[in-house]
Structure 1
Amino acid sequence: MFIPIGTDNPLKHRPLVNYALIIINCVIFFFTMRFAAGQGTPQQQKLFHELMLVPTDPRLFQYITYAFLHGGWMHLIGNMLFLYIFGNNVNDKLGNLGYLLLYLAGGVVSGIGHSFLSAHPVLGASGAVAAVTGAYMVLFPKTYVHILYIIFFIGTTDIPAIYFILLKLIIFDNILSPKFYGAENIAYSAHLAGYAFGILIPLVMLAFRILPHSHYDLWAVVQRYRRRTQYNHMVNQGYDPFGGAPPRRKWVNIKIKNENTAHPQAEKIMELRADISDAISRSDIAGAAELYLELMEIDSRQILPLQQQLDIANKLMHTSRHSQAAHAYEIFIQHYPQYHFLEQVQLMLGLLYSRYLHEEPPARKHLEAALLKLTDPAQRQMCQDELNRL
């Protein structure tokens, strides 16, 4: 058993609509749980069944009302847990109105999918929750889901959202399980229709820029894969990524024969750079630093975007990898000479050379450059004292 208990995806806004939906589902269950168990007056039983979705005699309102009914405590708790874990971030991304429309439309589409493939009455928020979960996979595929697993023992682990949702929730739970374990009165068709809707709508919105996209949503991941494929094709045709524009067609054969200067691990470099960006987006600077060192072993000329390069250099310094930190700072100064606080980077690098690497010439060079621009009295005094000591 694998139970999601959280994600590493921080919220920017309070997901008010998702909180409201959870409360509404719980309140409705509190007032109808007796009817779901076969209790109550005949009139109450009749009303409860009329609110369920009956595919053989559907009414329009049932495509909404069925999604707010649940058959028992475990049915409710399971749906609300998933809605809380995945819905908060989707609500945060889409806004309150957009999220409400996604949730309600997901319930409707799930009901339609069930009606086409089954004649059995259905109730529960599972289809709407599946739509929300599918949307989470599209919007945040590379975030990590914290999982409580209960197999032969109990433990926790972190799994990328795209693997957990696609492989576990969609393929295993809703495609393979019915074949091996039977239907067990579970509306698998409603789940799959919800997942399909939740995946398709955000993808379309991202593709047409209706929804602002990030570097890490599923559309961006697909586009990077497409560009990487095109890049590999160009390299195979003789393009030199380190030598400028691709050669004219008539020079391709000559280029390949005489001057194969393309980096032999260009694809690995691109993957590492993407992984570094991904780690930094999750505030995993330590992991990004390890990936950066691996990148430097392949090609020490690689330069990251300004803030990434500086963050990793600082992390290497704080973890006492002084020579690697000095190299990262040197690359930063060389490629970003217009940085507003360059003198502070030069001061840091000068102190690093002086106190930890004991290399006087580069230490003096950077300290003297920093002293010319430093304005803070304490920093100027520190810089001057270190120069005097040298």
Structure 2
Amino acid sequence: MERDQAATPPEAEREGAVQRTHEPAFNLPAGLTCILLFLVAIHALRTYVFSSSLDQDIILNFAFLPARYDHPLAEQSLAWLWSPVTYSFLHGSWEHLIFNIFWMVAFGAPVARRIGMARLALFWALSAAAAVALHTVFHWGEMIVVVGASGVVSGFMGGAARFVFSPSGRISRQFAHLNRRLSFSEALSNRSVVVFSGIWFLTNFLVGFGMFTPGGADSVAWEAHIGGFLFGFLLFALFDPRD
């Protein structure tokens, strides 16, 4: 997914280190592992332990509903305040959860290694909110239930696109977090970033037209995916401690 030609000596050394060192395929940061276990625990409780009425209360109070913001906030519960984040901890099915976990392992791990867990927590919250903010623009006042960490995963993808590719265009699986962050101009002229982002956007636009989704476009909050990706790609530097 990325770009140029000769790496600087430190990057070249790191790439060489990757070739010589065989790291475990799933050596996840401990904090990210805890998050994934937390998501699994929540869904297991909702599926196997909680009653249907309790689960409905959880959805009502913690899922995201665009309709909340079409009514006076003083006349409703405070769910409008926290639901732009808490919806990302709920999932519609095991398939939905496993799909998000798969992509979170791929893109969340390098982001977590790079920015640390404190920044990751803030990144999660703000990317989740940015995702449903764009979704709400297209679905203002609608009674649509939005759940899932897909917007956050998209934020991870957007943020990772700024650094996971070395200047040579390669991905260093275990050491990608050590790469220099690409500037906007470098990222937009990097063939790997452009191809990766182009395929990502094309796939989501096709989902928006009802392709790849048995339930149609309404079953996937594709606008939220785009909102999360744009947040991660455009604002990742605010969370990145590296130059």
TM-score higher than 0.5: yes
TM-score, length basis structure 1: 0.43
Per-residue deviation at 1:70? 0.3
Query: Which residue type is aligned with residue 45 of structure 1?
Result: Q
Residue in structure 1 matched with residue 128 of structure 2 by the alignment: 107
Give the distance between the partners of 1:143 and 1:184, measured in 2 at CA: 36
Per-residue deviation at 1:79? 0.3
Q: How does 1:276-355 map to 2 (within 5 A)?
A: none
Residue in structure 2 matched with residue 78 of structure 1 by the alignment: 99
Give the distance between the partners of 2:91 and 2:210, measured in 1 at CA: 25
Q: How does 1:163-242 map to 2 (within 5 A)?
A: 165-169=196-200, 171-179=201-209, 181=211, 182-202=216-236, 204-205=237-238, 211-213=241-243
Residue in structure 2 matched with residue 69 of structure 1 by the alignment: 90
Per-residue deviation at 1:168? 2.3
Give the distance between the partners of 1:165 and 1:103, measured in 2 at CA: 22
Query: Which residue type is aligned with residue 157 of structure 2?
Result: T
Q: Is the 8 A contact 1:70 1:76 kept in 2?
A: yes
Residue 170 of structure 2 is aligned to residue 143 of structure 1: yes
Q: Is the 8 A contact 2:28 2:105 kept in 1?
A: no
Q: Is the 8 A contact 2:124 2:152 kept in 1?
A: yes
Q: Could you say what secondary structure the match of 1:140 adopts? A: coil
Per-residue deviation at 1:163? 5.2
Q: Is the 8 A contact 1:131 1:197 kept in 2?
A: yes
Residue 35 of structure 2 is aligned to residue 21 of structure 1: yes
Distance 1:17 1:48, change over 3 A: same
Q: Is the 8 A contact 1:64 1:107 kept in 2?
A: yes
Q: Is the 8 A contact 2:207 2:220 kept in 1?
A: no
Q: Is the 8 A contact 2:164 2:172 kept in 1?
A: no
Per-residue deviation at 1:23? 1.1
Distance 1:161 1:70, change over 3 A: farther
Distance 1:25 1:72, change over 3 A: same
Count of paired positions: 184
Give the distance between the partners of 1:112 and 1:29, measured in 2 at CA: 24
Give the distance between the partners of 1:200 and 1:188, measured in 2 at CA: 18
Give the distance between the partners of 2:40 and 2:192, measured in 1 at CA: 26
Q: Is the 8 A contact 1:130 1:195 kept in 2?
A: yes
Residue 142 of structure 2 is aligned to residue 128 of structure 1: no
Per-residue deviation at 1:201? 1.1
Query: Which residue type is aligned with residue 60 of structure 2?
Result: H
In structure 2, stretches of 5+ residues that fail to align are 1-17, 70-79, 174-190
TM-score, length basis structure 2: 0.66
Residue in structure 2 matched with residue 149 of structure 1 by the alignment: none
Moved over 6 A (4+): 8-11
Distance 1:180 1:32, change over 3 A: closer
Distance 1:161 1:211, change over 3 A: farther
Distance 1:89 1:62, change over 3 A: same
Q: Is the 8 A contact 1:17 1:99 kept in 2?
A: no
Per-residue deviation at 1:42? 2.5
Per-residue deviation at 1:130? 0.6
Give the distance between the partners of 1:41 and 1:144, measured in 2 at CA: 45
Residue in structure 2 matched with residue 303 of structure 1 by the alignment: none
- Please tell me the root mean square deviation across aligned C-alpha atoms, in Å: 2.9
Distance 1:21 1:143, change over 3 A: farther
Distance 1:100 1:164, change over 3 A: farther
Q: Could you say what secondary structure the match of 1:139 adopts? A: coil
Give the distance between the partners of 2:96 and 2:136, measured in 1 at CA: 20
Give the distance between the partners of 1:14 and 1:83, measured in 2 at CA: 10
Distance 1:161 1:51, change over 3 A: farther
Q: Could you say what secondary structure the match of 2:67 adopts? A: coil
Per-residue deviation at 1:194? 0.1
Residue 114 of structure 2 is aligned to residue 93 of structure 1: yes
Query: Which residue type is aligned with residue 23 of structure 1?
Result: L
Q: Could you say what secondary structure the match of 2:161 adopts? A: helix
Query: Which residue type is aligned with residue 103 of structure 1?
Result: W
Give the distance between the partners of 2:222 and 2:67, measured in 1 at CA: 18
Distance 1:77 1:14, change over 3 A: closer
Q: Is the 8 A contact 2:210 2:217 kept in 1?
A: no
Per-residue deviation at 1:27? 0.8
In structure 1, stretches of 5+ residues that fail to align are 1-7, 147-159, 214-390
Give the distance between the partners of 2:210 and 2:42, measured in 1 at CA: 34
Give the distance between the partners of 1:164 and 1:89, measured in 2 at CA: 20
The structure number with the bigger radius of gyration is 1
Give the distance between the partners of 2:106 and 2:30, measured in 1 at CA: 14
